[in-house]
Amino acid sequence: MLILLWGLPGDSPLAAVQKELQNLGIPHVLLNQREIIETEVKLSVGEKITGEICTPTDKIDLNAVTGVYLRPHDSYKLPEIMEAGPESYAWQHATAVDNALLSWVEMTSALVLNRFSAMAANNSKPYQLQQIRKFGFQVPDTLVTTTPNAVHEFWQDHGSVIYKSVSSTRSKVSQLRPERAERLDNVVSCPTQFQQYIPGRDYRVHVVGGDVFACAISSAADDYRYAGVTNAPEIFSYRLPEDIENKCRVMAAEMELSLAGIDLRETPEGEWYCFEVNPSPGFTYYQQETNQPISNAIARLLASGKTVSRKL
């Protein structure tokens, strides 16, 4: 058994899982992106894929890897790679290492949290909303447009509207207010996602294999993640209704996400809306607030090497 962690040492979720693996005595190795210039990947593809990764401190036999936790960035975006430029050896080598590892991750029989092919749906939030609807959750009416008049009509139809990024890039969720109306002409330059505002309480749900960790969030901010210190949200552990909890399990399993962060909201009328399924959740913020053992569950899941059946 060997668990491979891939990313930057300062990444909070990666560090939390590594600490749990150490505490549990589970063999693991960190593939440090900061060392990518000194990293070599060798792959051989036949009836099965074999290979090794050589770093300044380790020689990793990929055949021995039984679990993988992915938290990498695009290596070419590292400051030293960006400074060298696209024509440099550093840039081309970093890109080649990334591509080799991305290929291996898709083909390995090891448990991967999560394969990039499974995470790809999050790159288009409107597409992911179509997936979410299939699992019995309500989703807000949504408009993606570059036409200001379409936004005005959508706003008039729904009364209260929020806007946010279309892609997986993290963005602040804000309500569209009259004082911002004059900026709507800017959407001609950038496709923007507008949604019907849904009142109610927020819930963040982390699915780790078959385990579900839910927390309730009380906040007056449009986006509790950016509420600030003075208006910090209240976050506490919560037990979801059994049917909602099971929907979260099934949805994550069907999306082939053994690890997922799911954003829900319950309306005053008791309707449950799902806004997003994050395939690489920054769970440590919620773990610190609730003391839920999320990182421990991830470490144990990696050690088990077992994917979750779609038939739950």
pLDDT at 174: 76
Distance CA 299, CA 250 (A): 21
Domain containing 154 equals: 142-196
Q: Is 9 helix (H, G, I), strand (E, B) or coil?
A: coil
Pair 29, 149 in one domain: no
Pair 131, 263 in one domain: yes
> Hunting for tokens 């083909």 — which residue is that?
107
Count of Cβ atoms closer than 10 Å to residue 49 Cβ: 16
pLDDT at 25: 96
Distance CA 157, CA 24 (A): 55
Would you say residue 22 lies in a domain? yes
Strands (E), 21-93: 28-32, 40-45, 49-54, 59-61, 67-71
Q: Measured in Å, how far apart are the chain's first and last C-alpha atoms?
A: 27
Q: What kind and span of H or E run contains 132?
A: helix 125-133
> Hunting for tokens 């038939």 — which residue is that?
311
Region 58-67: mean pLDDT is: 94
pLDDT at 12: 96
C-beta separation of 248 from 211 below 8 A: no
Pair 250, 177 in one domain: no
pLDDT at 146: 87
Would you say residue 303 lies in a domain? no
The residues with which 49 forms a beta bridge, in sequence order, are 45
pLDDT at 191: 83
Pair 128, 252 in one domain: yes
- Domain of 49, CATH number, reads 3.40.50
> Hunting for tokens 């063999």 — which residue is that?
27
Pair 70, 182 in one domain: no
Pair 155, 10 in one domain: no
Pick the residue with more confidence: 306 or 140?
A: 140
> 126-185, pLDDT tens digit by residue?
888 889 999 989 999 988 888 888 988 888 888 888 887 776 666 667 777 877 777 788
Confidence of residue 104 (pLDDT cuts 50, 70, 90): very high
Share of residues in the chain with pLDDT > 90 (%): 61
Distance CA 74, CA 46 (A): 28
Would you say residue 74 lies in a domain? yes
Distance CA 235, CA 203 (A): 9
Region 192-197: mean pLDDT is: 88
Distance CA 256, CA 118 (A): 6
Strands (E), 55-184: 59-61, 67-71, 111-113, 142-145, 161-164, 174-175
pLDDT at 171: 67
Burial of 47 (0-12, 13-18, 19+ CB in 10 A): exposed
Pair 63, 209 in one domain: no
Beta-strand relationship, 28-32 and 40-45? unpaired
Would you say residue 287 lies in a domain? yes
C-beta separation of 161 from 180 below 8 A: no
Q: Which 8-state DSSP code applies to residue 100?
A: H
pLDDT, the chain, mean: 89
Pair 71, 167 in one domain: no
Pair 210, 183 in one domain: no
Pair 125, 255 in one domain: yes
**H-only helix segments in 210-292:** 242-254, 284-290
Pair 206, 279 in one domain: yes
Number of separate domains in the chain: 3
Distance CA 216, CA 237 (A): 6
Q: How many CA atoms lie within 13 A of 271 on its CB side?
A: 11
Q: Is the pLDDT of residue 266 over 80?
A: yes
Q: The pTM is what?
A: 0.88
Pair 210, 273 in one domain: yes
Pick the residue with more confidence: 267 or 74?
A: 267
